[in-house]
Structures are given as C-alpha cells and as structure tokens.
C-alpha cells in the first residue's frame, strides 16, 4: 500500500507539501473552526484508512477490478484542494505587503525546488500536425489501404507506429496485441516463460530488426494471416525479407511496407 | 484550419448544451444554480440522459447512426426547452438587475480566465500516445468507421466474441463517436482538442466552486485558490496523478473521473456538510452518482467508496441515520452497474456478438 502511495505522489515533493498542509489544517486551522468540522475531518481520515487505504482492502478490491489500478482510489484524496486551501489561508493570515511578499518568496522557492514539473522543453513543443499523427504513419496507412487484398488486413508494426495506426485507419488489424507486446517489453525476447512464440517472431523483425530463421517467419505470417510488415529503413532488411517472400509495396520517410501474399491466395 | 474552427465551434456548442442541461435540471430540481454551477451540473444531466439512449442501443447491438439521430433530437429538444424556461423566467422578473462587477472583481476574473486559457493551450499541445490512447481513439474510430458499437475491438481491430461490458457500460466514448459522425471532425482532433479542452474548463469550474465554498465567495481568495491549484497541478508529476490525466490525457474518460466527477462529489459533500438538510443538493448528488459510470467506468467503485466513507462519518458525528440512508440511496446507480459488471466478469451476464 505504501508503495502505491509513494509512486502516486511521485518525486516532486507535492506529497510532502500535502502532509504539511494536512498538519497545518489539523494543528492550527481546525482550532478556529467548529468542533464538528474537526470531528468529521478526523472520522473521514480514520475511516478512509480503516475501510479503503490499507493492504487488505487493496487486495479485496483488486479481486473486483485490477490491483494495478488501485492508485485510482487515491484520486479521492483532495491533494490539490488541501494544498491550495492552506496556501491561500496562510496568505490571508499574514498581515501587510512585506509579510505576503516573504510568503510568496517561500512559495516560489518551494516550487523551484520541485524541478520543472510538466513545463519542460518536450511538453512545450508544438506537435507537427493538428491531428498529431506523424506523416510516416499517414503514408503507411495509405500504402496499406491501396494494396490490401482483404477489408481488414492484419499488419505488424514497431511500437510507435502501432499505437497510432488505427487512429488513422481503423480497418487495419494489429498482428501483435497489447499483452504480447507488453510481455516482451517487460521480459525481453527468448525469456523463460516461452509465451507467444509467433508474436515473438514478428516483434523481433518489426520492432528490433532481428533476422530470424526465414522458415520460422514464413510460418508465422501464414499462421497469423499477416499481410503487411512495416519495417524501419534503418534496419536494412530488404534482401532478407524478399527472400522470405515479402514484397515491398511502398515506403514512407523512415519505413518500408512489405506485403505477404499467401500461396493459396495466388 | 477548418478542422480547428470546427473544434472551437464544438467546444462552444458543448458549453452551451451543458449549461442548458444544467439550467433545466436545476430548474426541475428547484435548485438555484449559478452559471458555473449550471455548466458543471449540466455535464452530469447530459451524460445521465445520454446513457438512457446509448446503453440499450449498445446492448441491443444497434448502429451508431440510430443513436446519433436519436441523440440529436433529444439535445435539440432540451435546448429549445431550456430557452423557453429561461425566457419565461426572465419575463417573470419585473426588472432585470444587471450590474457590472467592480474593478477588483474584473481583475480577479481575468486572472482566473488566464489560468484556464493557459491550461487549455498547454493541454492541447501535449502529444501523449500510450496503449490507452490507442484503445480509446481506436474504439471511437472503429465505431465511426463501422457504424457498430463495441462489436469490434477498438484497440486491435478484431471482432469481439462477446460485448465487452468492462467498457460498453459507459457511454462516454460513444458520445464522442456521435459528434465525430455528425461533424466529420477527425477522432484524434475531437478527443484531444474538444474533449480535452472541455475537461480543463470543467476542472477549473469545479476548482472555482470549491474555492467559493471554502472561502464563502471571496473573489480574491477564490482567485488565489484557482491559481495555486493550477500551479500545484503543474508540479504533481507521476504516472498516476490527477494532474497527469488533466495535462497529458485530458480527453480520456479516466481524466473526467479524476478531475470532474470526484471533485464534484467533493464539492457537493462540502455543501452538504454545511447544510445536511438541503434536499436540492442531495438530489444533485444522486444525479452526479447516476452519471458517474456513464462518464467513466473507473467511477464504478471509487465514487461510492468516497461517498460511503464521508456520509458514514457525517452520520456518526451528526448522530443522524438519515444522512447515511440518503447516501446509500445515492449509491444505488453505481451498485447496479457493479452487480452487472460482476455478473459479466463471472460469465453469468454475457452478450454474444
């Protein structure tokens, strides 16, 4: 449970700021309010820990939903509201411009210590197109659309292309699903689990540029009804893929689209 | 450029539609809602009603075109009705009291608008693409492309064998599909610009309302509260925070859950804490809970957990069993969805495709 809270709060120091704000509310601010407010506050916090934010509840709720998504329950903790409330209240308590300026200075210093946050070079960069889909992906989709032999062709891509391709052309079917992709991202190729062998063959070629045994790739393409493989130009696999029986049908700036026509279709 | 103009136009349309829904809903519930309250509460009336039409059609494996036609008729009717009520209300009042806010308030409102505009821009230029993006955008694209709802897996494009109720119980993405079909806006643009911007606006609407509730409408303090909330959001960095969803994934249903549904429940609970007997706010809480799952499946357990803990605490402190009872009534919609979802996971309630 503690690990979930830690990874939820991140490294920025907002977690610490939240704890301090809570203590301020409990220790000072609540003294001024009616006792009913303090009682409800303490009951909510107490019941929250007893009924929800503990290892047992986490396991039980994990049975219903998914334990990996338990962090979503932490959304009910009003971190932003608590910090903002205490900050504004502190400003209200401090008298005079000088005092407020010092407090503002402390706030700026604290923010500076937290690093860039979301405001950094990468996040301030304007994406190339309005749809935010790279030209490479658009060209690949067009090539597939023009050359497909069935309405919903099965295609294999590297990860970056795969995630965007169906936003551009929803008739395309992924050859490798999310689970196998994630499996190999997590455990690597040729791992002990020996799961998804066909998917592993495809990913080795399209995502890593590894030349596997030609017979194996041919068998995979047939077994999984894969019609198109999209491979990075930088992998220089043209000759190898042609020998497997794949024909280049078009290319974008960084990728070549190969088509595999099954013998029985010819 | 045309796509951009269409997106801006759709944002404005949605703001008008939400406000009309909220105004009419508040009128029916005899609740005096401000403009910001009407806008925010309208979202919940909107999705609660959308679900009434969308869910049966999804479960009956009907076409998106049918839903689009039906929903267009409903929205038009609600808009007409809201304007009639507004017209009658205005006519009833002998003399309208229009007064310009003072200089200080104008500065405060401009400062608040500045934060909202910055976040709208900052969210719009983000280009996060993850597996979830592929899934949700793919779901809407597939729906628009095939005119079917949840019959084809939105992520990988393969036909489903059974209706995926883990997602299909919520109409959120079908609402986007309806408007993509109607306007011809590309799905990615619609989600990232229209739904993302709306999420930001609604988030700051709720921050404003929470600020008003905490500081008893002191405009300067509310402005400070909104600015601080904006700043804290910019630094609340981890893969799971509400801020991550607000800034990088604002168009996802999950972001609406984290940044609109849950804060709205918090705000209503704050109002109820001050006045437990306010029936209009209890009714509103019920509507918010009713719309929580249609907006996001993530709310199926989170919303009742939050509500349950708070009303239990309130009923203990106030020694008032009625509070708990009202809270339980508000949780009924989520419990119904939960039972259906559990039956689905246990293979008891399965709809074959």
Residue range B157-216, pLDDT digits in tens: 999 999 999 999 999 999 999 999 999 999 999 999 999 999 999 999 999 999 999 998
CA distance A194 to chain B (A): 23
Q: Is residue A122 part of a domain?
A: no
Provide, as residue numbers in chain A, all residues whose Cβ is less than 8 Å from the Cβ of B158: 173-174
B279-295 vs B299-318: helix axis angle to the nearest 10?
Answer: 160
Element (H, E) at A230: strand A226-232
- Asked if A177 and B210 come within 8 Å (Cβ–Cβ), the reply is no
Residue B201 in contact with residue B230, Cβ under 8 Å? no
User: To which residue do tokens 């401000």 refer?
Assistant: B34
User: To which residue do tokens 């998804």 refer?
Assistant: A196
pLDDT band at A128 (very low <50, low <70, confident <90, very high): low
Provide the pairing of β-strand A173-174 with A154-156. parallel
Question: Residue A257 and residue A262: Cα distance in Å, rounded?
Answer: 16
Q: How many independent structural domains does chain A possess?
A: 2
Say if residue A69 is in the same domain as residue A149: no
- Asked if B125 and A126 come within 8 Å (Cβ–Cβ), the reply is yes
Question: Residue A192 and residue A176: Cα distance in Å, rounded?
Answer: 20
Question: Residue B244 and residue B239: Cα distance in Å, rounded?
Answer: 7
Residue B305 in contact with residue A73, Cβ under 8 Å? yes
pLDDT band at B226 (very low <50, low <70, confident <90, very high): very high
CA distance B238 to chain A (A): 5
Which of B281, B267, B298, B122 has its CA nearest to residue A80? B267
Residue B201 in contact with residue B133, Cβ under 8 Å? no
Reduced DSSP (H G I as helix, E B as strand, rest coil) percent helix, strand, coil of chain B, to 5: 75, 0, 20
- Asked if B305 and A73 come within 8 Å (Cβ–Cβ), the reply is yes
Q: Is residue A108 part of a domain?
A: no
CA distance A79 to chain B (A): 9
Q: Which residue is closest to A75 within chain B, CA to CA?
A: B258
The mean pLDDT of A223-236, rounded to a whole number, is 96
Q: Which residue is closest to B4 within chain A, CA to CA?
A: A130
Question: Residue A66 and residue A63: Cα distance in Å, rounded?
Answer: 7
Q: Which residue is closest to A16 within chain B, CA to CA?
A: B236
CA distance B189 to chain A (A): 5
Say if residue A154 is in the same domain as residue A74: no
- Asked if A117 and B125 come within 8 Å (Cβ–Cβ), the reply is no
Q: Is residue A9 part of a domain?
A: yes
Q: What order of strands is seen across the sheet that includes strand A246-251?
A: A173-174, A154-156, A226-232, A255-260, A246-251
pLDDT, chain A, mean: 89
Q: Which residue is closest to B264 within chain A, CA to CA?
A: A76
- Asked if B141 and A167 come within 8 Å (Cβ–Cβ), the reply is yes
Q: Which CA distances in Å does B315 have to A35, A36, A77, B318?
A: 15, 12, 20, 5
Share of chain B above pLDDT 90, in %: 89
pLDDT reading at A83 higher than 90: yes
Provide, as residue numbers in chain B, all residues whose Cβ is less than 8 Å from the Cβ of A178: 131, 134-135, 155-156
Considering only CB atoms, B155 lies closest to which of A81, A171, A178, namely A178
Q: Where do the structural domains in chain B lie, given as residue ranges?
A: 2-93+102-345
Task: Locate B227 and state its tokens.
Answer: 């600015």
Q: What is the pTM of this model?
A: 0.94
Q: Which CA distances in Å does B155 have to A130, A174, A231, A235, B36?
A: 22, 8, 21, 27, 36
Question: Residue B275 and residue B24: Cα distance in Å, rounded?
Answer: 23
pLDDT reading at B74 higher than 50: yes
Q: What is the pLDDT of residue B66?
A: 97
- Asked if B312 and A47 come within 8 Å (Cβ–Cβ), the reply is yes
Q: Is residue A102 part of a domain?
A: no
How many other CB atoms are there within 10 angstroms of residue A265's CB atom?
A: 9
Residue B67 in contact with residue B54, Cβ under 8 Å? yes
> Which range (A32-36, B27-31, B261-265) has the least confidence?
A32-36
Q: Is residue A127 part of a domain?
A: no
- Asked if B235 and A12 come within 8 Å (Cβ–Cβ), the reply is yes
Residue-number span of the structural domain to which A159 is assigned: 135-265
Q: What is the pLDDT of residue A92?
A: 87
pLDDT band at B156 (very low <50, low <70, confident <90, very high): very high
pLDDT band at A123 (very low <50, low <70, confident <90, very high): confident
Question: Residue B332 and residue B334: Cα distance in Å, rounded?
Answer: 5
Q: Is residue A257 part of a domain?
A: yes
Q: What is the pLDDT of residue A263?
A: 66
The mean pLDDT of B239-248, rounded to a whole number, is 94
CA distance A116 to chain B (A): 7
Provide, as residue numbers in chain B, all residues whose Cβ is less than 8 Å from the Cβ of A163: 129-131, 133-134
| ipTM reported for the complex, 2 dp | 0.94
CA distance B293 to chain A (A): 14
Question: Cα B2 to chain center, whole Å?
Answer: 27
- Asked if A132 and B188 come within 8 Å (Cβ–Cβ), the reply is yes
Say if residue A151 is in the same domain as residue A246: yes
Q: What is the pLDDT of residue B67?
A: 98
Residue A248 phi, psi dihedral angles, 5° rounding: -70, 125
Share of chain A above pLDDT 70, in %: 95
Tens of pLDDT, residues B294-345: 999 999 999 999 999 999 999 999 999 999 999 999 999 999 999 999 999 9
- DSSP, collapsed to helix, strand or coil, labels residue A232 as strand
- DSSP, collapsed to helix, strand or coil, labels residue A71 as helix
Question: Residue B271 and residue B280: Cα distance in Å, rounded?
Answer: 11
Decide which of A35, A60, A93 is a domain's last residue.
A93
Say if residue A209 is in the same domain as residue A141: yes
Task: Locate B70 and state its tokens.
Answer: 């039906």
pLDDT band at A265 (very low <50, low <70, confident <90, very high): very low
- Asked if A172 and B157 come within 8 Å (Cβ–Cβ), the reply is yes
Q: Which residue is closest to B228 within chain A, CA to CA?
A: A84
- DSSP, collapsed to helix, strand or coil, labels residue A34 as coil
Q: Is residue A128 part of a domain?
A: no
Q: What is the pLDDT of residue A266?
A: 43
Say if residue A143 is in the same domain as residue A261: yes
- Asked if B316 and A43 come within 8 Å (Cβ–Cβ), the reply is yes
Residue B82 in contact with residue B23, Cβ under 8 Å? yes
pLDDT reading at A130 higher than 80: no
Tens of pLDDT, residues B270-300: 999 999 999 999 999 999 999 999 999 999 9
Q: Is residue A119 part of a domain?
A: no
Considering only CB atoms, B238 lies closest to which of A8, A81, A126, namely A8
pLDDT band at A55 (very low <50, low <70, confident <90, very high): confident
């Amino acid at each position: 449970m503690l690990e979930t809270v830690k990874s939820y709060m991140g490294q920025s120091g907002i977690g610490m700021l939240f704890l301090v704000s809570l203590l301020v509310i409990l220790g000072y601010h609540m003294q001024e309010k009616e006792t009913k407010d303090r009682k409800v506050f303490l009951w909510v916090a107490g019941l929250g820990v007893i009924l929800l934010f503990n290892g047992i509840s986490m396991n039980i709720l994990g049975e219903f939903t998914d334990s990996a998504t338990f962090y979503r329950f932490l959304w009910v903790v009003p971190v932003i509201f608590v910090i903002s409330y205490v900050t504004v209240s502190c400003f209200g308590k401090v008298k005079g411009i000088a005092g407020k300026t010092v407090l503002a200075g402390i706030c700026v210093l604290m923010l500076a210590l937290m690093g860039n946050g979301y405001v950094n070079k990468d996040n301030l960069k304007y994406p190339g197109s309005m749809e935010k889909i790279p030209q490479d992906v658009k060209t690949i989709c067009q090539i597939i659309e023009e050359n497909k032999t069935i309405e919903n062709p099965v295609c294999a891509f590297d990860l970056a292309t795969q995630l965007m391709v169906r936003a551009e052309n929803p008739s395309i079917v992924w050859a490798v699903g999310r689970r196998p992709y994630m499996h190999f991202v997590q455990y690597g190729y040729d791992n002990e689990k020996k799961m998804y062998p066909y998917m592993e063959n495809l990913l080795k070629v399209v995502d890593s540029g590894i030349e596997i045994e030609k017979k194996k790739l041919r068998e995979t393409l047939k077994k999984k009804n894969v019609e198109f493989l999209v491979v990075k130009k930088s992998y220089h696999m043209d000759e190898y893929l042609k020998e497997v029986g794949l024909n280049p049908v078009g290319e974008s700036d960084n990728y070549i689209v190969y088509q595999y026509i099954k013998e029985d279709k010819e | 450029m045309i796509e951009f103009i269409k997106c801006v136009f759709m944002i404005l349309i949605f703001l008008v539609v939400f406000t009309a829904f909220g105004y009419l809903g508040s009128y029916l519930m005899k609740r005096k809602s401000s403009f910001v309250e009407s806008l925010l509460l309208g979202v919940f009336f909107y999705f609660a009603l959308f679900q009434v039409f969308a869910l049966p059609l999804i479960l009956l494996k009907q076409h998106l075109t049918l839903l689009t036609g039906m929903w267009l008729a409903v929205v038009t009717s609600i808009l007409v009705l809201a304007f009639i009520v507004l017209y009658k209300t205005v006519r009833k009042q002998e003399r309208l009291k229009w007064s310009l806010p003072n200089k200080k308030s104008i500065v405060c409102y401009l400062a608040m608008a500045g934060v909202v505009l910055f976040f709208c821009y900052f969210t719009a230029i983000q280009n996060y693409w993850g597996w979830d993006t592929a899934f949700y955008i793919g779901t809407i694209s597939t729906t628009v492309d095939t005119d079917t709802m949840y019959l084809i897996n939105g992520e990988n494009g393969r036909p489903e064998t059974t209706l995926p109720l883990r997602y299909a119980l919520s109409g959120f993405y079908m609402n986007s599909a309806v408007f993509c079909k109607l306007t011809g806006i590309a799905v990615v643009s619609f989600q990232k610009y229209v739904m993302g911007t709306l999420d930001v606006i609604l988030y700051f609407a709720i921050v404003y309302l929470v600020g008003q509730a905490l500081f008893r409408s002191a405009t300067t303090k509310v402005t400070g509260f909104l600015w601080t909330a904006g700043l804290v959001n910019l630094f609340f960095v981890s893969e799971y925070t509400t801020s991550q969803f607000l800034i990088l994934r604002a168009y996802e249903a999950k972001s609406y859950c984290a940044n609109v549904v849950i804060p709205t429940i918090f705000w209503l609970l704050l109002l109820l804490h001050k006045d437990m007997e306010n029936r209009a706010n209890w009714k509103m809480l019920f509507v918010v809970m009713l719309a929580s799952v249609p907006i996001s499946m993530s709310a199926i357990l989170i919303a009742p957990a939050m509500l349950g803990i708070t009303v239990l605490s309130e009923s203990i402190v106030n020694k008032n069993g009625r509070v708990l009872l009202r809270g339980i009534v508000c949780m009924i919609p989520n419990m119904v969805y939960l039972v259906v979802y559990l039956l689905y996971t246990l293979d008891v309630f399965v709809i074959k495709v």
